[in-house]
């Protein structure tokens, strides 16, 4: 209610100040003096100047500076200006009619007050009740405590229809064989890693998370931050982007192993976004976007959202500009890597990109990169599957379809 009292008070004050100016009686003597004083003096000075110019024309004609034709043309122009100045000198200031001032004042008030209310109905929240900070914090805490479990989120996400990727039958048969073998070889860490990676590539994030959880359990003291990062990625992907209480536990373990880990900070911020604590999310994501390398997956995810989250937390924030790309020396060093190491690096980046697009989505340019990358790696069938999925996702977006079609054409997936 206090807000509306302030708004009405300010509107009345502004309208009153306009009305005082418009409805104030004119000072006839001042108006008359202005018309016959300064205005008349200015017009009189102009007339005197033009008369002097006429006299100067006569003198120039007598001295032979001007011929008769030129003198006549100059007299005509000066005479025209002289008559205009003489008419201006006769003008008088007039007070606008009182009724016109009343109408102008009323229109100004309607536009000011009515326009302000109209704009507020468009961009404001007229029916929203007061939201004390304590109540909002309590609501956020309740949302965090009552959010869906990992199993509930996975079941909900699994019920959403999604396109089935087209996979090479031999590759699919190999994965099926791996699925059958691993329960019989529960201590084989490498096998579980392979299964988790391939399930993620197929978009089976629930199965990938389960396999990666087995990897984490088998690592024991040798557990690394990367193992938990992979588990987090796949858990959140399986939950359709939801950060569950079980994912929170993984975040805590990751922070304990590697304080300040970028994946932990990103997913902790995402959890705060989902529970209404935009201020905490902004603080976490700000450290990610300001400290992580430009190509880091979590920085890219945070960069895509942080300006909106900053606004929701009451801040104006512009993310830092991207740093320049790798130097020539760095590119040369990468080219000198062993082919197997270089391929492993490429496959790792492709897997990360595929997981991100499957769980978070992304622009057409990223889908085009993924299609091209799979063809470069020799996985043409997987590239075709991604191309089919992208066509369905961007079917109603002609500019994006143009980007995707060009990428598919470049690698021979379409004519």
Average pLDDT of the residues in 48-65: 79
**Per-domain boundaries in the chain:** 2-123, 327-415
Q: What is the pLDDT of residue 2?
A: 66
- pLDDT(357) > 60: yes
Q: What is the pLDDT of residue 275?
A: 93
Q: What is the pLDDT of residue 151?
A: 94
Average pLDDT of the residues in 35-60: 69
Q: Of 50-54, 183-187, 389-393, give the lowest mean pLDDT range.
A: 50-54
pLDDT in tens, 89-133: 555 445 566 677 677 777 777 777 777 777 777 766 666 666 666
Report the C-alpha gap between 255 and 40 in whole angstroms.
Answer: 84
Of 62-66, 285-289, 367-371, the range with the highest mean pLDDT is 285-289
Output the six-digit token pair for 190: 């490498």
Q: What is the pLDDT of residue 293?
A: 80
pLDDT in tens, 268-292: 999 999 999 999 999 999 999 988 8
- pLDDT(8) > 60: yes
- pLDDT(1) > 70: no
Sign of CA dihedral 316, 242, 237, 215: positive
Model confidence band, residue 306 (pLDDT cutoffs 50, 70, 90): very high
What pTM value is reported for the model?
0.54
């Amino acid at each position: 209610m206090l807000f509306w009292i302030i708004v009405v008070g300010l509107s009345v004050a502004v309208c009153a100040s306009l009305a005082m100016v418009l409805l104030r009686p004119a000072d006839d003597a001042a108006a008359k003096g202005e018309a016959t004083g300064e205005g008349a003096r200015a017009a009189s000075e102009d007339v005197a100047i033009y008369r002097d110019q006429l006299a100067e024309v006569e003198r120039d004609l007598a001295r032979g500076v001007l011929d008769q034709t030129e003198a006549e043309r100059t007299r005509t122009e000066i005479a025209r200006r002289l008559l205009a100045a003489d008419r201006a000198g006769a003008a008088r200031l007039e007070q606008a009619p009182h009724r016109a001032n009343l109408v102008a004042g009323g229109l100004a008030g309607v536009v000011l007050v009515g326009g302000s209310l109209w704009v507020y109905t468009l961009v404001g929240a007229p029916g929203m009740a007061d939201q004390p900070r304590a109540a909002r914090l309590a609501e956020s805490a309740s949302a965090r405590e009552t959010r869906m479990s990992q199993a509930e989120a996975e079941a909900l996400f699994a019920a959403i229809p999604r396109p089935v990727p087209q996979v090479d039958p031999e590759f699919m048969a190999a994965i099926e064989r791996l699925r059958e073998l691993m329960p019989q070889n529960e201590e084989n860490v490498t096998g579980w890693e392979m299964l988790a990676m391939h399930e993620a590539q197929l978009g089976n994030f629930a199965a990938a998370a389960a396999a990666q959880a087995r990897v984490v359990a088998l690592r024991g003291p040798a557990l690394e931050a990367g193992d938990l990062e992979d588990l987090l990625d796949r858990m959140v992907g399986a939950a359709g982007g939801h950060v569950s209480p079980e994912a929170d536990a993984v975040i805590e373990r990751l922070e304990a192993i590697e304080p300040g880990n970028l994946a932990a900070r990103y997913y902790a911020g995402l959890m705060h976004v989902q529970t209404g604590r935009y201020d905490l999310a902004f603080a976490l994501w700000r450290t990610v976007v300001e400290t992580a390398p430009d190509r880091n997956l979590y920085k890219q995810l945070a960069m895509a959202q942080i300006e909106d989250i900053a606004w929701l937390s009451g801040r104006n924030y512009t993310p830092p500009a991207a740093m320049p790309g790798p130097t020539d020396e760095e590119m040369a060093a990468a080219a000198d890597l062993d082919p197997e190491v270089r391929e492993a690096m490429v496959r790792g980046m492709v897997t990360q990109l595929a997981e991100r697009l499957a769980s978070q989505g992304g622009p057409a340019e990223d889908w085009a990169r993924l299609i091209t990358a799979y063809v470069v790696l020799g996985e043409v069938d997987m590239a075709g599957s991604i191309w089919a999925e992208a066509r369905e996702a961007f079917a109603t977006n002609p500019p994006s379809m143009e980007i995707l079609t060009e990428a598919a054409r470049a690698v021979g997936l379409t004519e």
